[in-house]
Amino acid sequence: MEVTIFGIHLTVHPVAFTLPIGKNGWDVYWYGIIIATGFLLAIIYGRLNAKRFNLDFDKLLDVIIVTVPVAILCARTYYVIFSGDHISSVSDFFGFSSGSGFSGIAIYGGVIGAAICGTLMCKLKKINMLDALDLASLGFLIGQGIGRWGNFTNQEAFGALTGSSFWGMTSANTVKEVGEGLVHPCFLYESVWCIAGFFVLHFLSKKRKFSGEVALYYCVWYGFGRAIIEPLRTDSLRIGPFKVSFLLSLVICIGAAVALVMIRKRRIEAVRESEYAEVFAEENEEQPDGQAEKTNNEDGEENE
């Protein structure tokens, strides 16, 4: 596939190689390899930083082994539900009939599935769920930032025409779906946003004040970025006229931002109450017992 992006001409092959399985072989796509690479790097990051999040990586690995297949199934299910694709059998769902596995997954479905399954597994393995979500959020950003380049090799997840003579990309797929001209490389926008988010949240995680804080930051960061990028895309999943991921991004971003504000407010109030109690206790300790009793009596009379 011939692709031009930012004035650079490239030849992109979606299929990396073909395994000698079945009548026509089993195609292995660059998309899958790139996704797997992002996943592997996320695992490595988790291994190196588990102690900083008060986590036992061996137990966490048990959670990951169960959660990842569930997340993939949820990502596929989410796509099938909102894409309108006709699935008549289990074989169609898994793509056995195509000879190359299923095509079409949605990251939000994977994240939601991972969060639910991961929570249940954390309870089973007696792992602090919020600490695990904090670390997983950074892993998500690594995987998403790298994984979006799989969309480039498939020439998907692009947007409308840019109206620019340079900024954007074009290929046979973009011409077929949008028309002649350069289109927004939405896969690149989201990749850059996620990678930048990883570095920002990695820095903030070192100053984490409570368990779950990084996960909330992730929801705000990714939700905000996706809400900006999604309206540009031409292949969005929809509920009627509404783009599903756009609406979900807004809800997640706003909900997480509100939660952060409320938690911070409660923490500040708790610190103030604690400081006030300590000061009051120190004043009573400095006064003789009789004087303290007298002060209390006077306060009682005034209150009456």
DSSP conformation letters of 49-88: HTGGGT--HHHHHHHHHHHHHHHHHHHHHHHHHHH-----
pLDDT of residue 303: 42
What does the pLDDT read at residue 271?
A: 78
Q: Are 72 and 105 in contact (CB under 8 A)?
A: yes
Token duo for residue 49: 């930083």
> What pLDDT does 251 receive?
96
Positions of the chain with pLDDT lower than 50, given as ranges = 292-304
Say how far residue 288 (Cα) sits from the centre of its chain: 59
Cβ(99)–Cβ(25) under 8 Å? yes
**Distance (Å, rounded) from C-alpha 258 to C-alpha 263?**
9
- Residue 117, pLDDT score: 94
* Paired tokens of 258: 């509100």
